[in-house]
Chains A and B, each alone.
Chain A
Amino acid sequence: MTPENAGYYHAAYIVAVVLYGAYAISIWMRRRAVRRRGG
């Protein structure tokens, strides 16, 4: 019988979207800050 554990798999995919998304945003924000600093 196949175990019911879809919650773990859903959690992992949500974490992936949040982590990779947050990293992409962090690069974009840092580039914007550097450009402002450079004038």
Chain B
Amino acid sequence: MSDISLRGEATEAPVAPSRVRGGGIDWFFVVAVLLVAVTFVRVIYFTPIEATQGPAQKIFYLHLPAALAAFMAFGLVALTSILYLWLKDPKLDLLAESSAEVGVVFTTMVLISGPLWGKPVWGTWWTWDARLTLTLFLWFIYVGYLVLRGAIDDPAMRARYSAVLGILGALLIPFIHLSVYLFRTLHPMPIVLKPSAPSLPKEMLETLALSFGSFTVLFFAFLRARYHLALERAAIEAEERR
């Protein structure tokens, strides 16, 4: 492993190994799993079926919260990357790395649930329109971000290069949100995240709110667990370099 560092940042252990080692049950994660389970029960048994699209419309309660969680994740990557470039705190770099990986998982869910909803409703699994193509591009950028991190040994160089990519990748998020207004697309217009009131019946809106809440908690549970993993790994790598 290279000992070269850029101005010395990001080479020390962010936290001593003894301080990051936890054990036992992660209660935050248990709460997240229970909330998601409650959401699934409500979606399956207590949410009406949409008359035009049929049961496939219930994919909506997975697809939209996953997209929101992915946007939060990549937004957090950009924010922590900017702060890293400014403050040079290695913990910010590890938080960015963790958030990027969790974001890739949620974007994968978006890219799988979308076609599963599109096939019965649009008649096609995939179309190369702006919203879908940009989302796929976002996924590739952050998979590339994780590959880049794996390819650079020097912690300071890895942190700096990936911070730049993390910030540039997040610039796509507003374009993805606005793409349905800017381009002709099969993807429907926003029905919740728009200036006017959400255009959903009350029962569906309540299920969507529960789904947003539970998947947001799941996002933070994943992020917390992944960040602890990153801290532990960085501490051990720093010990091994000594």
Contact = CB atoms under 8 A, between A and B. Distances in A.
A5 B58 CA distance: 11
Secondary structure at the B interface, as helix, strand, loop or mixed, is: helix
Nearest to B29: A24
B115 to A, nearest CB: 9
B239 A2 contact: no
A30 to B, nearest CB: 6
A37 B57 CA distance: 46
Interface residues of A, number: 24
Contact of A27 (B63, B229, B239): B229
Given A35-B232, A38-B232, A20 B105 contact: yes
Interface in B222-237: 222, 225-226, 228-229, 232-233, 235-236
B228 A8 contact: no
Nearest to A31: B229
Interface in A1-39: 2-6, 8-9, 11-13, 15-16, 19-20, 23-24, 27-28, 30-31, 34-35, 37-38
Nearest to A15: B112
B105 A6 contact: no
Most A CB contacts (10 A, CB to CB) among B49, B56, B63 go to: B56
B220 interface: no
A3 B122 CA distance: 13
B55 A5 contact: yes
Interface in B99-117: 105, 108-109, 112-113, 116-117
A16 B58 CA distance: 13
Task: Indicate the size class of the contact surface on chain B.
Answer: 35 or more
Given A4-B54, A9-B55, A20 B232 contact: no
A6 B50 CA distance: 12
A8 B119 contact: yes
Nearest to B218: A20
Given A8-B120, A15-B113, 18 more contacts: A2-B51, A3-B56, A4-B54, A5-B54, A9-B56, A9-B59, A11-B116, A12-B112, A12-B113, A15-B116, A16-B109, A23-B222, A27-B222, A27-B226, A30-B229, A31-B232, A35-B232, A38-B17
Interface of A: 2-6, 8-9, 11-13, 15-16, 19-20, 23-24, 27-28, 30-31, 34-35, 37-38
23 contacts: A4-B54, A4-B55, A5-B54, A5-B55, A5-B120, A8-B55, A8-B56, A9-B56, A9-B57, A12-B59, A12-B117, A13-B43, A13-B44, A15-B109, A16-B62, A16-B113, A19-B105, A19-B112, A20-B109, A30-B233, A34-B229, A34-B236, A38-B236
